[in-house]
Structure 1
Amino acid sequence: MNTEGLVEVVLPGKVKPEGLQIRHGAIPAPGPGQVVVRVEATGVSFAEQQMRRGRYYDQPPFPFVPGYDLVGTVSATGEGVAPGLSGTRVAALVKTGGWASHVIVDAADLVEVPDGVGAAEAETLVVNGITAWQMLHRTARVRPGQTILVHGANGGVGSVLVQLARAAGVKVIGTASSRHHDALRARGVVPVDYRAENVPARVRELAPDGVDAVFDHIGGASVVASWGLLAPGGTLVAYGSASTRDDEGSKQWPVLKLLGRVWLWNSLPNRRHAYFFNVWAGRALSRNRFRARLRSDLARVFEALQRGEVVAQIAASLPLTSAAEALRLAESGTVAGKVVLTP
């Protein structure tokens, strides 16, 4: 009989980080087609920062357990699941529920983590790696020799994206505060200080004919400027609305406004393209295809990690019960990479 017990972090409402609650209970039993994953690492994504403010556009009603992704070991299997899956280290994209010691996941949603890859390393590359890979190779379809602009090049997604781009032979301009510039230069990225420089003017100096792709998580005025920096045939990939994180009012409006701009820009008689990237896109239409892509793309990211093309950037590692401190640190803007929680 398992006597470990369940530990999970609850977001009770719109609260400061210290308003998070720790809840204890019994480890749930898996249903048909499900497994219980004993979590070894989960993390703080930008999504949780929005969720605690009630600003993530499709978050569930309060209270709920946040946690966008996780890495752990299968500890129990339900009916219809191969018993041999027990003991396997896996990764999963869950959107919510990951900030817990044990999580029920559909077995079909699991991606095996290669031997030799640590749990915290793998965690930094689940949602961030899938997002970066799919935006680069499925949406923008970058090619060697092209030049791209990555906003937030030191962040969770940005830090993975610039490394994957460099591995693909792409030239990268990355925005970040000056404290991160040396690290970006070491990765072959041309840094731009978004606090001290006029970003559009500086990018035009570096790429007079425009860039082939822009990856913009900021939204608002930034995404308009990003569109104007594209070369003919270039692609804008918008994947967030960070500039509205602390706003009040409708949480859907920033995304709807962004979608409207994307539709308008694509209707114009020009050769540029705009996309709003959502890692969950297509799941409702074809769950099997979504799962196949997720397995394939995350496997490629893990392969890049094993080849040394990507370095897992762990900003900090804290216990699950220190989720408030971890969230506060992630929101501070002072760290590079991803803050990891380890139950």
Structure 2
Amino acid sequence: MQQLAIIQYGTAKEAFQLQQGTELKPQEFQVLVKVAGFGLNYADVMARNGLYKDAPKIPFVPGYEIEGQVIDRGSQVPEEIMGKRVVAFTRFGGYADLALADYRALSQIPEEMPGGEACALATQYGTAYYMTNYLGRLHKGEIALIHACAGGVGTALTQLCHLQGVRVVGLCSTSQKVDYLKKMGVEFPINYREVNYSAAIEKEFGKRKMNLIFNTVAGKSFKKDLKLLAHGGHLFCFGGAARSGQKSHLLNDLAFLMKTGFVSPLFMMMKAQGIIGVNMLRIADHRIDIIGHCLHALVSLWEKKKIRPQVGATFPATEIAAAHQLLESGESTGKVYVYW
């Protein structure tokens, strides 16, 4: 089997090595998948730079999602899954042409579903669905502020919000991405590099009008978002992109924590607000059934043409460095997909 391993921290060109892996044997709840392709996530970039605390020690094979055909199964896996085309959550190990996955965290997919769209469902749409549909309900007429709105999770959040009549304010970093957000139907797209997004939002909507905020950045943006959050609103924190670009060091970690700030639950209670931290790896570790629930629901929405993942770029596995460079640059939109 072939696998793309991170052998050292650093740039995409120096970090990866294409190597032969050892034989994989599925455990009782696992399946072995012949991988057609896998998706990239920003957590992969953080892991490559040594900034993702949950990542294994180097050398390791990254990758959270795969799509391909089931070719072997463990003792507790139903026989009917054999030979089926699936999309699966892998919790590392996905950058390989053979990979193991827990059968409870996969879904069968139709042959006509493009590989890039399938991979988008596993982690990015799965994260979005967990926040918008599993943890609670969205309500028609609410306003949602979405950071990195042109990215994979941002695209998913936008579509899922629109399905339930939620208005979307989308943050992005380029004029091209503003155009992308307009095509997606984002009501108020903002290039945060050109304007102060909090001032622009308050001018357009008034103070404390954001019912939902989806923050994948943390750092200084978290404090700004709290001032925009409506009474009774919810702020979801599911990333730390503001930490990217710095070396792994205790002082940098502390500085990042200080910039993000600390919140008392008493102050949140007085405003009837909620802050929810989302880490899908922890969900996979402790409630694997939730991953499967979200994936099955998303495949059903795809089949009903209610969602349509956007694949912004596709690369062969031999060009993994270029794929990573694009994702890290902030220039990509939608899903970045890599195929064997």
TM-score by length of 1: 0.90
Structure 1 gaps, min length 5: 1-5
Consecutive unaligned residues in structure 2, runs of 5 or more: none
Q: Are the aligned partners of 1:43 and 1:68 in contact in 2 as well (CA < 8 Å)?
A: yes
Q: Identity over aligned residues, as a percent?
A: 28
Change (3 A) 1:23 1:114: same
Whole-Å separation in 2 of the counterparts to 1:255 and 1:281: 22
Q: Report the equivalent of 2:107.
A: 111
Which residue matches 1:275? 276
Quickly say closer, same or farther: Cα 1:242–1:111, change in 2 above 3 A. same
Q: State the SS of the aligned residue for 2:87.
A: strand
Alpha-carbon contact 2:243-2:256 (below 8 Å) kept? no
CA deviation profile, 1:245-296 (whole Å, cap 9, x unmatched): 1223148658866997355576552222111111234555xx4xx2332222
**Aligned match of 1:207:** 205
> Which residue of the partner structure matches residue 7 of structure 1?
2
| 1:14 partner amino acid | Y
Q: Deviations over 1:37-69 (max 9, x none)?
A: 011121110011000111012111111001111
Pick which of 205-214 and 237-246 moved more. 205-214
Cα distance in 2 for partners of 1:121, 1:194 equals 28
Contact kept, 8 Å, 1:330 with 1:338, in 2: the verdict is no
- 1:57/1:252 Cα in 2 relative to 1: closer, same or farther (>3 Å)? farther
Q: Give the alignment of 1:95-106 within 5 angstroms.
A: 95-106=91-102
Which secondary structure state, in structure 2, belongs to the residue aligned with residue 105 of structure 1? strand
The alignment partner of 1:232 has SS state of: strand
CA distance in 2 between partners of 1:257 and 1:91 (Å): 39
Match of 2:327 in 1: 330
The aligned amino acid for 1:97 is G
User: CA–CA distance in 2 between the matches of 1:109 and 1:151?
Assistant: 27
Residue 38 of structure 2 contacts residue 67 of structure 2 at CA under 8 Å; is this kept in 1? yes
Change (3 A) 1:334 1:267: closer
Does residue 183 (structure 1) correspond to residue 184 (structure 2)? The answer is no
- Matches of 1:254 and 1:307 in 2, distance apart? 46
Letter of the aligned partner of 1:201 in structure 2? A
TM-score by length of 2: 0.91
Distance 1:97 1:259 in 2: 31
Q: Quote the Cα distance in structure 1 between the aligned partners of 2:268 and 2:159.
A: 32
Name the CA distance, whole Å, in 2 between partners of 1:262 and 1:295.
33
RMSD: 2.3
Find the residue that maps to 1:32 and give its secondary structure: coil
Secondary structure, in 3 states, of the residue corresponding to 2:236?
A: strand
Match of 1:29 among 25, 31, 42: 25
2:194 to 196, 211, 232: 196
Q: Any runs of at least 4 consecutive aligned residues in structure 1 with deviations exceeding 4 A, and if so which?
A: 251-260, 262-268
